[in-house]
């Protein structure tokens, strides 16, 4: 069940009120101008500050996860580069043995169709 007090003031109104709260010198006067209790302004401000803090923590956590993922991906790329180098070397060895076993040291000639 939703809290009926949350529907009393539109979100846009609360956002503007918090912005004004952050810039004002007299919270009591601002509350009167807005037609809301002073305690409500303080509560909205505290809720907004908590929400900002949670967002910052979540963003840092996300950034940390992404940095770890980037590190993992870099390691995988390096491992794959080593594997590619290994297989290139193995293929070169196989080709060299094949040339040696053909006798002449020259690559075997093949005929092309149509000539």
61, part of any domain: yes
pTM beyond 0.85 = no
Q: What is the pLDDT of residue 106?
A: 57
Q: Is residue 15 part of a domain?
A: yes
Does 90 reside within a domain? yes
pLDDT tens for each residue of 37-57: 999 999 999 999 999 998 888
Are 20 and 30 spatial neighbours (Cβ–Cβ below 8 Å)?
yes
Residue 13 belongs to domain spanning: 4-100
Q: How many structural domains is the chain composed of?
A: 1
Contact 99, 107 (CB under 8 A): yes
Residue 31 has a CB neighbour count (10 Å cut-off) of: 19
Contact criterion met (CB below 8 Å) for 18 and 12: no
* Phi, psi for 62 (deg, rounded to 5): -65, -45
Residue ranges for the chain with pLDDT beneath 70:
1-7, 103-115
């Amino acid at each position: 069940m939703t809290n009926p007090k949350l529907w009393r003031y539109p979100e846009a109104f609360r956002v503007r009120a918090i912005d004004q709260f952050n810039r004002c010198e007299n919270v009591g006067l601002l509350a009167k101008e807005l037609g809301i209790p002073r305690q409500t302004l303080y509560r909205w401000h505290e809720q907004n500050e908590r929400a900002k803090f949670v967002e910052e923590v979540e963003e840092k956590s996300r950034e940390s996860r992404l940095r770890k993922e980037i590190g993992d991906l870099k390691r995988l790329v390096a491992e794959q580069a080593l594997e590619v180098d290994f297989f290139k070397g193995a293929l070169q060895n196989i080709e060299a043995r094949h040339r040696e076993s053909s006798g002449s040291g020259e690559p075997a000639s093949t005929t092309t169709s149509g000539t």
